[in-house]
A and B are shown apart, each in its own frame.
Chain A
Amino acid sequence: MNESLGKPIDRVDGRLKVTGGATYAAEYKIKNLAYGAPVLSTITKGRVKNIDIQQAEKMPGVIGVMTSENCMMLHTPSGSDPGSGKFAEKDLLPLQNDRVLYGGQYIAVVVAETAEQAEQAAATIKVTYDEQKPVVGFEANFSTAYQPGSGLGGAKTQEKRGDADAAMQSAAFTTDETYTTPVYSHNAMEPHATIAEWNGDKLTVYDATQSVMGVQGLLSNILGIPKENTQVYALYIGGGFGSKGFTWANTLLAPMAAKQFNRPVKIELKRQQVFSAAGRRTQTQQKIGLGAGVDGKLTSIKHDTISETSFVDEFVETAGVATSMIYSSPNVEVKHSLVRLNRGTPCPMRAPGESVGMYALEVAMDEMANKLKMDPVQFRITNHSDMDEQKKKQFSSKYLKECYQRGAEAIGWSNRSAEPGMTKQGNLLVGYGVATATYPANRSASSAKATLFADGHAEILCGTQDIGTGTYTVMTQVAADAFGLPVDQVKVKLGDSSYPKGAQSGGSQVSASVGPPIRAAALGAVSKVVKMAIADEKSPLYGKKEEDIVVNSGRIQFKDHSNTSESFTDVLRRKGLDKVEAQAKTNVSTRQQQDAAPAPDGSPEAKIEAESKTNAAVQADEKTDRKDYVFHSFGAQFAKVLVDPDLGTIRVEKIASVMDIGTVMNLKTATNQIMGGILFGMGMALMEETKYDPNNGRIVTRDLAQYLVPVHADIPEIDVQFIEKPDPFISPIGARGIGEIGVTGMAAAIANAIYNATGKRVRDLPITPDKLIA
């Protein structure tokens, strides 16, 4: 059988997407649908005194106005339900009281017959407030900084080995600098949207989410209805980048309004509303201290991050999360602290932690390489970590040195002058920069169901979703290989909470998590057919052993005797069956395992529960010593830039990115993910920034004319390469996730290239012309 895995096949949903055939949350045509328009707070802190809805209620088409006075009461989500997703602002369930804790917070929802009527009526609502003095300004509030609990997925926020301070004191070379990053906004193409429809006590929700299972659990929790009565769909999602990982108020307000007005209701945010009411990346200030000996070996690494969160939840951007493992050093100290501001709550944004953390650390590494007069690539190789020195575990697989070497060649590193400002191309200064990329390889428990139909096609059901990354496509490849069918005979169905529980699309975990159970379920279904055949006198395979049977293009055959074979269809038809089904579940969670101390006694391990015996074989594929390893992807990012020294304009001329992400499941979707990450990193480095008004703390830049992302004209030649060595421990497929690593290190590579071009070190992102000519 020709394996399809690894082939750069086109997206299976590509045609649907470009022809408008893919239905996104806001696009469902629901009979009798009403439209909800949110009214958001125009103050930053205080209490709502009065909401004057009289005029709005009389306007044409208005069905009603939902406010804290008349809306249903919600149940506080219990943190204990493992099946429940996270509500992004745990202390601010929408419309439950009169408190205003940030600008752009939900105050009311106007429901009307058309979207235009709802919006127009919403604009007439006059809210009077008791305004209080808000806490605004990041640096201005550092005196209130406190030590937070753990970060995302239980990540430690304080880590230490050796004595970093003492080592700094005695180091031959030191750098100690402060780096700042602004608030970034995800700006997924598709704004957050929810349609909710009640049928008696059953709720159906179409939601723009990165987790149908999480939304199902959360709605059931907060609305107080059984999970079985809560059906969530997210068949296509127009990007999430983390902003649809936690659940935001729109997902609650739609079912609340639908109940209150007894109509299906759609709430679709406007771009401006997405900025305040649906997450962002926090602002950070990072102090990085490095100490090194004359041999260029790091003796001390200190990474101290202050970030901000809201008054209604705690989110820590764990900028220092990779610092303790990425380089070898006997002394390390990583700290995080938080200040609270009257802003909407931050949330994960593509590579939370590493994105901003690997910017600061990797610029600091460049500064140290300069002090040491050492080539920055060589400096990184000199300090390569052969194991995770903090957790004292081996890496499952790591080819980072090869990434540096191949990347250096691809960018033309040998043309780089060690002395900044020395290379010119016409009027422009040329510079080269490097940085290390890394992101953990996560994997979580998932399950799937496989069905082989008598007509010869097959289907997979899995309660994960494709947020635009290509999950439909690569999972079709995984399933096709396991079924022994061509990809066009396999239909993968995702984005439906009634399917077997699949992973959340976040933390780059989908491929690693749902690939194995999809494969196991498909193998399970095939095995059932094989068993039927060998037990059936009428089959040419009668009496053969299961392990001697191979699958090829929808046929099962005896070893390499293609004449001794028959099709799935023949077997099932003879039995009078129209299909066979199999389910599989994997219990692997890398996060828990990585943080668990290496223990010889078998703590919970890779467990595949599958119906069929053949899955003993699948089981055996799964390595049982996974807990002895840490799982990370690595890469090297290289940038070549041209800077106009008079005008401060920066042109990224070329990017080379070499990634060690295990098995490449599909070269097209993989390259696309890394490229997307690189562009995210470019935006971060050069232009993106969400600005808050310095006086009242409300967002000023809240559309795509004011919040700049790279456009085509900014985007250079991008050379993405992969090491393509399977990770032997992560899963039988050997693939680690790739959705996020492309962002990491990119901003630093560009910042370092700008320094190499100009000799100017801008330590405050984004690096815009004004900062370069200052």
Chain B
Amino acid sequence: MEPFRFVKAQDNLAAIRAAGINQAKFIAGGTNMLDLMKLNIETPKQVVDINKLSLYKIEELQNGGIRIGALVKNSDLSYNPYIIKNFPVLSEALLSGASPQLRNMATTGGNLMQRTRCPYFYNTDFACNKRVPGSGCAAITGYNRMNAILGTSDKCIATHPSDMCVAMAALGAIIHVQGPKGSRAIPFADFHLLPGQTPHIEHNLKQDELITHVEIPALPFAVKSYYLKVRDRASYEFALASAAVALDIQNGTINGARVALGGVGTKPWRSLEAERALIGAPANAQTYRTAANAALAEAKPHKDNAFKIELAKRTLVRALTTVEGMS
């Protein structure tokens, strides 16, 4: 670990100011940041502790939406009764991630910003464009069973590891950030970036911008929503494939649908293609399969991860079938 300056910010503005200096990084729960620093993958010269900021609230909004402070712990969010009732998919996604101990530390903001679990990214002996821009990508020709099949580029095929983000992508969350010049709102779909030629640039946040809260807009039919995660062991492991879905079924016809996939995309993968295939169609197995085919139509496999195409389809079909069963 490189030596660094440690700053404990007392309020948002102080945090933003402290983040402005070169190579500063916020630290919240520290569950990702600290690991990366210990491995010399993140080498901030200044670490800005934001745990003193007043960003711990979960507020129900008048219109039925909800506002989640950036420092709300994953565990608090997952057990929030309003979330469990109105956005079960979000609670389930959170509870499928990491372990209770980690969720007690991990924050909403930190979860949005967590970095990939590509094994080559974690191993500084290997080439990795995300870690060292221009050094190459060891995963493309290497061991890539866990890597992405959607949104990849010839520079990087790393998955975005978050479960929470998959649910938030499906729910169309809005990320509120604050910088030296004021605040702005970023639609979820625009927050994370595809790797393209610059896989080291992962999101739309400026160096000195702080995530303050996440808003989940009202989505009445999300009371019937569900998160399904398929993985190599029963708990404490990232997804091979996951699906966050919500369906509005009236008289056997799908009126509204939200679909996002995890474990397969280079960013939390909302599938508008699948949603289009679902909306207006009868709620049945054939529709679900058609939607799954649409979601994975652009999938590009590598040597070890071709199975993810079929697995993701089946995961999505199962999730949709499960939500139909709730109606």
Taking beta carbons and an 8 Å cutoff, which residues of A are in contact with B? 42, 103, 116, 119-120, 123, 272, 646-649, 651, 686-687, 691-695, 698, 700-703, 705-706, 708, 710-714, 768-770, 773-774
Contact = CB atoms under 8 A, between A and B. Distances in A.
Contacts of B142: 693-695, 700
B262 to A, nearest CB: 14
B191 interface: no
Interface string B117-138: 1011011011000000000001
Interface string B100-111: 000000000000
Nearest to A692: B143
B235 interface: yes
Nearest to B310: A773
A693 B307 contact: no
Contacts of A694: 141-143
A176 to B, nearest CB: 28
Contacts of A713: 233-236
A648 B318 CA distance: 12
B240 interface: yes
A648 B120 CA distance: 26
B266 interface: no
A703 to B, nearest CB: 7
B42 interface: no
A769 B122 contact: no
Interface in B153-210: none
B18 to A, nearest CB: 23
A711 B40 contact: no
A711 B1 contact: no
B233 A647 contact: no
Closest 8 CB pairs of A and B: A713-B235, A770-B307, A713-B234, A42-B125, A714-B234, A711-B236, A700-B143, A646-B314
Among A700, A710, A711, the one with the most B-chain Cβ atoms within 10 Å of its Cβ is A700
B11 interface: no
Given A706-B122, A774-B307, A714 B143 contact: no
Interface in B284-327: 307-308, 310-311, 314-315, 317-318
23 contacts: A116-B1, A119-B1, A120-B1, A646-B317, A647-B230, A648-B311, A649-B230, A687-B232, A687-B233, A691-B119, A694-B141, A695-B142, A702-B119, A703-B122, A706-B122, A711-B233, A711-B234, A711-B235, A713-B235, A714-B234, A768-B232, A769-B230, A773-B314
Interface in B204-233: 230, 232-233
A694 B302 CA distance: 13
A217 B3 CA distance: 42
B318 A646 contact: yes
Given A123-B40, A695-B141, A773-B311, A705 B235 contact: no
Nearest to A774: B307
B311 to A, nearest CB: 6
A702 B40 CA distance: 16
B162 to A, nearest CB: 15
A119 B314 CA distance: 46
B59 interface: no
B76 interface: no
B4 to A, nearest CB: 11
Among B119, B235, B308, the one with the most A-chain Cβ atoms within 10 Å of its Cβ is B119
A122 to B, nearest CB: 10
Contacts of A703: 122
A705 B122 CA distance: 10
A121 B115 CA distance: 26
A651 B231 CA distance: 12
A660 B182 CA distance: 73
Contact of B233 (A42, A648, A714, A770): A714
B311 A647 contact: yes
Contacts, number: 88
A272 B141 CA distance: 22
Contact of B123 (A119, A120, A700, A710): A700
Contacts of A691: 119, 143
Given A693-B138, A706-B119, A120 B2 contact: yes
B125 A769 contact: no
B237 interface: yes
A693 B118 CA distance: 13
A492 B2 CA distance: 45
Nearest to B314: A646
A647 B1 contact: no
Contact of A708 (B3, B233, B315): B233
A265 B234 CA distance: 41
Given A700-B126, A711-B233, 14 more contacts: A647-B314, A651-B234, A686-B233, A695-B138, A700-B143, A702-B119, A702-B123, A706-B122, A708-B232, A710-B233, A712-B235, A713-B236, A773-B310, A774-B307
A686 B232 CA distance: 8
A703 B233 CA distance: 16
Given A694-B142, A773-B307, A700 B119 contact: yes
Nearest to A427: B318
Contacts of A770: 145, 240, 307-308, 311
A698 B122 CA distance: 14
A357 B240 CA distance: 30
A648 B240 CA distance: 11
B119 A701 contact: yes
B44 to A, nearest CB: 15
Contacts of A714: 233-235
A700 B1 CA distance: 21
Contact of A769 (B235, B236, B240): B240
Contacts of B141: 694-695
Contacts of A710: 233
A514 B239 CA distance: 48
Contacts of A774: 307
Given A116-B1, A120-B1, A693-B142, A705 B117 contact: yes
A686 B138 CA distance: 26
A693 B232 CA distance: 20
A705 B116 CA distance: 12
Contacts of B236: 711, 713
Nearest to A682: B233
B105 to A, nearest CB: 16
A472 B19 CA distance: 54
Interface in B251-278: none
B143 A769 contact: no
A701 B125 CA distance: 12
Contacts of A693: 126, 138, 142-143
Contacts of B3: 120
A119 B38 CA distance: 10
Contacts of A769: 230, 232, 240, 307, 311
Contact of B125 (A116, A651, A698): A698
A773 B314 CA distance: 10
A469 to B, nearest CB: 25
Interface string B1-40: 1110000000000000000000000000000000000001
Contacts of A711: 233-236
Nearest to B228: A647
Contacts of B314: 646-647, 773
A460 to B, nearest CB: 40
A29 B116 CA distance: 38
Nearest to A272: B123
Among B233, B234, B318, the one with the most A-chain Cβ atoms within 10 Å of its Cβ is B233
Contacts of B2: 120
Nearest to A117: B3
A699 to B, nearest CB: 8
Nearest to A652: B234
Nearest to A645: B314
Contacts of B119: 691, 700-702, 706
Nearest to A116: B1
Contacts of A103: 125
A705 B145 CA distance: 14
Nearest to A40: B125
Nearest to A693: B142
Contacts of A701: 119, 143
